[in-house]
Homo-oligomer: A and B are copies of this chain.
Amino acid sequence: MDYQQMCPRYEKAIDVLGKKWTGLIIRILMGGKKRFGEFHAQMPDVSDRLLSERLKTLEDEGIIIRRVFDTKPVRVEYELTEKGRALEPVVTAIQAWGEHWCEPETVHSDR
């Protein structure tokens, strides 16, 4: 194990996963591709602007792909890439640990 190499890659992964709502977006996309509006059903408290920002970041990171269909109205779909699907065990492991070990009352959500 090269610990010097380990840290930057671990930190990069955490950087991507650590932004608020990112885990949820990935989790929702694990159920298959989604249109922009479909996210809202599962995350009603998130503004369009913030959702757009997160989707853009995930697209820039190569975790999701955004497809625009030339229909009327224009249809925009989001889907996990191979890199994004590879996050499934990560998100699942974080979630499982959080559910088992983190009490809601000790939760900080100001991030």
Contact = CB atoms under 8 A, between A and B. Distances in A.
Nearest to A4: B45
Contacts of A8: 102, 104, 107, 109
Contact of A3 (B17, B43, B91): B43
A24 B3 contact: yes
Interface in A63-111: 83, 86-87, 89-91, 93-102, 104, 106-109, 111
B12 A14 contact: no
A94 B90 contact: yes
B9 A14 contact: no
| Copy count, this protein chain | 2
A107 B18 contact: no
B109 A7 contact: yes
27 contacts: A3-B24, A3-B28, A5-B104, A6-B27, A6-B95, A7-B20, A7-B23, A7-B24, A8-B109, A9-B95, A9-B102, A10-B94, A11-B23, A11-B107, A12-B98, A12-B106, A13-B98, A13-B101, A14-B17, A14-B94, A15-B108, A83-B101, A87-B97, A89-B97, A90-B90, A90-B94, A90-B97
